[in-house]
Amino acid sequence: MSNIRSFRKHRGLTQEALAEKAKVSQPHYGRAERLSGGVALKVYMQIAEAMGLPLYTLFYEEISPIEIELIQAFRDLPEERRKGWVDALQLAKKEKAPSDEEYE
């Protein structure tokens, strides 16, 4: 399954609804979702924009729709809140779990 289809289904959209939102014909959208040849980059850009996603996420196989939503939610936070989350993450990485040797 392509990322485009996965993201579309995650949002509960039909091909027709997303095609309309992206301002492309449904058959053209279907070819894009199947990653068929002959689809212009502009179409993929319109699809990504319609879903509020960066273009690369349509083709990147290692990222799930929920990860994209988390990234977007993080980016939508005010600067101070983002900084707080980054600081907390860095602190968590510095903290080391006790080793087995420390329990002996």
Looking at the 3D structure of the chain, how many domains does it have? 2
Asked if the model's pLDDT at residue 82 lies above 60, the reply is yes
> Which pLDDT tens digit goes with each residue over 8-22?
888 889 999 999 999
Same domain, 47 and 89: no
Phi and psi at 13, nearest 5°, equal -100, 150
Same domain, 4 and 18: yes
| pTM of the shown model | 0.63
Q: What pLDDT is stored for residue 31 in this prediction?
A: 93
User: Within a domain: residue 100?
Assistant: no
Q: Which residue has the higher pLDDT, 14 or 71?
A: 14
Residue pair 36/47 in contact (Cβ under 8 Å)? The answer is: no
* CATH number of the domain to which 7 belongs: 1.10.260.40
User: Within a domain: residue 101?
Assistant: no
User: Within a domain: residue 28?
Assistant: yes
User: Within a domain: residue 87?
Assistant: yes
Domain span at residue 2?
A: 1-61
- Output the CA torsion 74→2→59→73 (10° steps): -10
Same domain, 9 and 53: yes
- Output the CA torsion 30→35→37→41 (10° steps): 90
**pLDDT band with cut points at 50, 70 and 90 for residue 99:** low
Share of the chain above pLDDT 70, in %: 88
